Amino acid sequence: MVVIAAVIVSIALLAVVSLGVGEYPISPGRVVATLLGGGDPREALVVRRLRLPRTSLALVAGAALAVAGAVTQTMARNALASPDLLGVTAGAGAGAVAAIVLGGAGGEAIEGLLSLGTPVSALAGGLLAAAVVGVLLRAGGGRGLRPVLLGVAVSAFFSSLTSWMLIEASLDDVERATAWLTGSLSGRGWTEVLIVSITLAAASAILVPVARGLAALQLGPDMARALGTPIPLTIGTLLGASVLLTSITVSAVGPIGFVALVAPHLASLASRAPRPPLIVSGLFGALILLASDLAARTVIPTFTVPTGAVTALVGAPFLVWLLVRSTGTP
């Protein structure tokens, strides 16, 4: 509870700072007053209509990615398991690009996510990637570095598919898809916030009944079976929730990596828990993505860095550390 309270306070403070930073700076006190209904018309426009959707999306998207990562790591009993490393993010990205550049399911001629074409296509791509990785892991085992190696192979395949679609697409579709592939919160609005929020709520409702099974799986399949956990149903439900969270979030903000990997580990370390607590993981994910987006907007004053580049800059060294630790473990 102390950790949860501390992270919530950190998120609130960082959100106030994020809402006040920009070409039109606003002091934290004025930001709070504007959120509470005060402020002059210009401050209300900047805070509520221009900056609040982006900040809200950072919070819900970061939480969704982190919960997906915590579920994947616990279910696989592998610290290296995360949706972006196992190819789910690349599969979802390929599905979303298909909706954008091929016009599948109404994805053409509609900016943002004003139709369900992009989320549905991203979910289909994420499910396909998860199915491929699952079959390969079942055939060859899923311990050590094998999941990462298989994930790299599956990610390379879907990335190649994405590149092929970009080559065949029109220039307008390529420009839109390329901007989306950088992984950014820029230009998003309340539509994306609503879609990711509904997905996070639905996934949470799915995860609540199987939370006991998730804890049992941490002990191994044999012990979980002895405790009465229906293994196939539990794994299928957990995998479906993880893919749902990852795919829909990717369709909203693009393939932002490493949040799903880093946040669960920070949650475990802060809580001193044997497995990543889902609520704490979600809060850390929201904090990480909000901080990354703030850094992307402020590090270079005259240029906005893609948020995905900031998360990669932080997450890549963390992955190297995990790989070195995993290789050195007998």
For residue 83, give the nearest of 149, 151, 137 by alpha carbon. 151
The DSSP output letter for 77 is T
Mean pLDDT calculated for residue range 153-165? 90
- Give the torsion through C-alpha atoms of 124, 195, 72, 125, to 10 deg: 10
Residues 108-131 pLDDT 10s: 333 444 345 678 888 888 989 888
pLDDT over threshold 60, residue 283: yes
Q: Please report which confidence band the pLDDT of residue 285 belongs to, taking 50, 70 and 90 as the band edges.
A: very high
Whether the Cβ atoms of residue 247 and residue 95 lie closer than 8 Å to each other: yes
- Residue spans of alpha helices (H) in the chain: 2-20, 28-35, 41-44, 52-76, 88-101, 117-140, 146-168, 171-181, 190-207, 211-217, 221-226, 231-253, 259-271, 278-298, 307-327
**Minimum mean pLDDT range among 84-98, 164-178, 268-282:** 164-178
Mean pLDDT calculated for residue range 242-258? 90
The domain over range 2-327 is classified in CATH as 1.10.3470.10:
yes
pLDDT over threshold 90, residue 193: yes
Residues 56-114 pLDDT 10s: 999 999 999 999 999 988 887 777 788 888 889 899 888 888 888 876 433 433 344 43
As a whole number of Å, the CA-based R_g of the chain is: 20
Half-sphere exposure of 203 (CA within 13 A, CB side): 32
183: how many CB neighbours lie within 10 A of its CB?
A: 22
pLDDT of residue 113: 42
Average pLDDT across the chain, whole number = 84
pLDDT of residue 267: 92
Q: What is the DSSP string of 171-227?
A: HHHHHHHHHHHT---TT--HHHHHHHHHHHHHHHHHHTTTHHHHHHHTT-HHHHHHT
Q: Is the pTM of this model over 0.85?
A: yes
Q: Please report which confidence band the pLDDT of residue 327 belongs to, taking 50, 70 and 90 as the band edges.
A: low
Whether the Cβ atoms of residue 21 and residue 297 lie closer than 8 Å to each other: yes
Is the CA virtual torsion 32, 35, 36, 37 positive or negative? positive
Q: 164 vs 13, 105, 153, 157, 257, CA distance in Å?
A: 43, 19, 17, 11, 22
Residues 18-45 pLDDT 10s: 999 988 889 999 999 999 888 788 888 9
Q: How much of the chain, in percent, has pLDDT values that exceed 70?
A: 92
The rounded distance, in Å, linking the Cα atoms of 256 and 231 is 31
pLDDT over threshold 80, residue 212: no
Domain assignments of the chain as residue spans, ordered by start: 2-327
Whether the Cβ atoms of residue 102 and residue 330 lie closer than 8 Å to each other: no
